[in-house]
Amino acid sequence: MTVETVRMVGPPVDRVDGPLKVTGAAHYPADFSFPNLAHAVLVQSTVAAGRIRRISTRLAESAPGVLAVITHEIAPRLGRGPTTSLGVAPPPPLQDDRILHHGQHIAVVVAETPEQAAAAVRLLEVDYELTEPLLDLDDPQAERITNPSWRDIHRGDAGAALASAEVRVEATYTTATETNNPLGLFATIAAWEGDTLTVHDTTQWPYNVRATLAAAFGVPEDRVRVIAPFIGGAFGAGLRTWPHVVLAALAARWVNRPVKLVLNRAQMFTSVGYRPSSVQHLKIGATHTGELVALDHESIEPLSLEDNYLEGLTRATPLLYECPNVTTRQRQVRLNVACPTWMRGPGEAPGVYALECILDELAYELNMNPLEVRLRNYAETHPQSGLPWTSKGLRACYEQGAERFGWSRRTAEPRSMREGRMLVGLGMASAYYPYFQFPTQARATLDRAGTALVRSAATDIGTGTYTIMTQVSAEVLGLPIDRVRFELGDTTMPPAPQQGGSNLAASLGSAVHAACMKLVQAFLDVVRDDPGSPVQGCSLEDVTVADGRISRADAPERGEEYTDILERHGLAELTADGESAIRQDLDLAPGIFGAKFAEVHIDPDLGLIRVARIVAAIDGGHILNEKTATSQIIGGTVGGIGMALLEETVSDPRTGRIANATFGDYLVPVNADVPDIEVIFVGEAEPLNPLGVKGVGEIAIVGVAPAIANAVFHATGQRIRSLPITLDQLL
């Protein structure tokens, strides 16, 4: 059977879940209810370090409507969730009296109504014994972690090559703490029936929530059901099962009623991770003609005291360009801060920012076009392993992106371009993100009505998973899209991995593809010995499917409908399961690539920076749906604008309190900040999976901030080496 999934850019099908989302009928975790639902509100530490000497709950407990106040003094011992492909689980909450960071959960108040719970929180009296918090990356008291993942790279001899390089550039770049801040406040509703727990949760990984809650309460995993059909964004914040999820389930068990817990916006800054700030020292050596001879990249980032996360800031540095001598060093410093986590484009978004800015600095040092420097060091093979790439469309990204953007009209000299009185700057950057694919299962069923139901416990955080999986199912089964229903977000469905690292299109797509192929095979198995069937004895290779019919490939008029087969054999439906398996037979290195071009307009007197235009050229392999994939790239580009110019979580250096934990103070791009964004898809089908996809969610943001930063330099001649770039830095 030939499946028509080889078109490079798939049709711009409207989101299948669109009508639900525009009518308010899509149910996000906080939208569910249970009879007799109680409401929980978290209480968080107002200091960063020390211990709780005394926490007085009497008054809160006696307040109207209050059902319980749970503190570390009375909370049961809770198990820690399993270590997964993403690392350790967060330590369970309320296990002792120690305070490790500002905003740590210290109690949960449960009441009949949210208003009563929130009012009772104000009646808690907490007496802290304070110690001096560690809050500064340079604090000599802080524990330093060297080479945390044993992934530091030493290729050739970067030190010697730098010493003898014809041209050298050194610079230090810093990036601010950013907070994911999905618009949907993270919410958990937990309901126990005996030892069976049902949970609605804001998560990118329902099966991980299931495993973590089972471990916390010592119940078998199959007694926990986690449901998440819609999520109000997450951008990485939903990849771990955070302590508030455990607390919601604990509260429900405590009061023996279903409990709903919704974080408030301030709590979103300390409870579900954030992108850590970074300090990145780079040294680059090149020949007079622009060939790289050495790269040295050291990164330093903060980490919480007793949990783990690594941003991966130097991950792309050895891979993006051909360079014989490369050293990377990752460093972490343990502080009294909440644990950081993945935020869109983790690792690469801030890491490639630094690399692409120093490359721009090198281009000016060489008096060379920045695009030419990148082309001159183009990595035709994977530079670390020497393996050929599975597919690499980066050259096409450069060429088509530059063409669409009009890069050739750039004049080399900084401050040389104007529009009216505005300074005009053009900048560009490369983008790279690793390819990931994880084990996934899916189940496909076709019934007597000719309707397919395909299911897997993945999530759709807004990427378009519902839609593209419906398309894949329809295409493989040969059904119109409106005869296919794809369901996700429920642990009663076959297991799926996290929706993160751009893996899901490949992982889940492969499983759905396999399940649907096996379902067609199941129909052929039924008619193998059926003389009444025109496809009797056919194998998958012998048939085509379209409009609900299986036909002989060599004689398309000889075929029959799926429903005919079910009816003739007295079957209500047929079902098949499929799995995602990454190909192990190819000695090839995969990667996702892009090139970003930005134009900024800067007021020479006020320093006001406006992004005027962005062109993003993306090699994401085969694009399943042009509309949703374009939206992914636009969305990531908007995130990149925020990273470049707006977003910064500000902490008080003495107390560790976050000073701007509101949407009024933590600035994210609004409609008027965002210009026209053009998206181009280039490249070839990725051979590692049957759909040829690479994934586009993460590559969308990588390279945007450096393209803007480089454009700011081109406009002004001022090299601002810290993000976000704000107007005061230009004055």
Note the residues at the interface with another protein (CB under 8 A): 14-15, 17-28, 30-31, 33, 59, 62-65, 113-116, 119, 123, 125, 181-185, 230-233, 235, 262, 264-265, 461-464, 627-628, 630-632, 634-639, 662-664, 668-674, 676-677
Just list the catalytic residues. Answer: 698
CA-CA-CA-CA torsion for 143, 146, 151, 155, nearest 10 degrees? 160
Residue with tokens 């891979």: 319
User: To the nearest whole angstrom, how small is the minimum distance from the Cβ of residue 663 to another protein?
Assistant: 4
Query: Which CB sits closer to another protein, 1 or 185?
Result: 185
User: To the nearest whole angstrom, how small is the minimum distance from the Cβ of residue 10 to another protein?
Assistant: 14
- How big is the CA angle at 237 (ends 232 and 243), to the nearest 5 degrees? 105
Running DSSP on this structure, what letter comes out for residue 586?
Answer: -
User: To the nearest whole angstrom, how small is the minimum distance from the Cβ of residue 292 to another protein?
Assistant: 33
The 3 state secondary structure assigned to 687-704 is CCCCCCECCCCCCCCCCH
User: To the nearest whole angstrom, how small is the minimum distance from the Cβ of residue 624 to another protein?
Assistant: 14
**Distance from C-alpha of 522 to C-alpha of 515, rounded to nearest angstrom:** 10
* Strands 326-334 and 154-155, sheet pairing: antiparallel
Query: Which CB sits closer to another protein, 228 or 300?
Result: 228
Query: Which CB sits closer to another protein, 317 or 471?
Result: 471
Q: Which of 490, 481, 488, 476 is nearest to 520 (CA)?
A: 476
Q: Which of 214, 277, 274 is nearest to 246 (CA)?
A: 214
Axis crossing angle, helix 704-716 with helix 626-645, rounded to the nearest 10: 50
**Distance from C-alpha of 571 to C-alpha of 526, rounded to nearest angstrom:** 10
Helical residues (DSSP H) of 136-205, grouped into ranges: 158-163
Query: Which CB sits closer to another protein, 187 or 295?
Result: 187
Residue 499 backbone phi and psi in degrees, to 5: -95, 90
Kindly state the tokens that stand for 458: 């993945």
User: To the nearest whole angstrom, how small is the minimum distance from the Cβ of residue 529 to another protein?
Assistant: 46
Query: Which CB sits closer to another protein, 44 or 551?
Result: 44
Query: Which CB sits closer to another protein, 1 or 259?
Result: 259
Host H or E run for residue 638: helix 626-645
**Distance from C-alpha of 224 to C-alpha of 195, rounded to nearest angstrom:** 9
| N- to C-terminal Cα separation, the chain | 65
User: To the nearest whole angstrom, how small is the minimum distance from the Cβ of residue 59 to another protein?
Assistant: 5
Q: Which of 502, 716, 701 is nearest to 603 (CA)?
A: 716
What separation in angstroms does the CA of 553 have from each of 480, 526, 536, 556, 559? 19, 19, 13, 6, 9
Burial class (CB in 10 A: 0-12, 13-18, 19+), 516: buried
User: To the nearest whole angstrom, how small is the minimum distance from the Cβ of residue 262 to another protein?
Assistant: 7
**Distance from C-alpha of 665 to C-alpha of 651, rounded to nearest angstrom:** 12
Give bridge partners of residue 676 from the DSSP assignment: 613
Burial class (CB in 10 A: 0-12, 13-18, 19+), 670: exposed
Query: Which CB sits closer to another protein, 124 or 373?
Result: 124
User: To the nearest whole angstrom, how small is the minimum distance from the Cβ of residue 508 to another protein?
Assistant: 17
User: To the nearest whole angstrom, how small is the minimum distance from the Cβ of residue 214 to another protein?
Assistant: 27
Query: Which CB sits closer to another protein, 8 or 668?
Result: 668
**Distance from C-alpha of 430 to C-alpha of 373, rounded to nearest angstrom:** 11
Query: Which CB sits closer to another protein, 153 or 701?
Result: 701
Kindly state the tokens that stand for 503: 């893996």
Query: Which CB sits closer to another protein, 273 or 578?
Result: 273
User: To the nearest whole angstrom, how small is the minimum distance from the Cβ of residue 202 to another protein?
Assistant: 10
Q: Which of 272, 163, 165, 179 is nearest to 647 (CA)?
A: 179
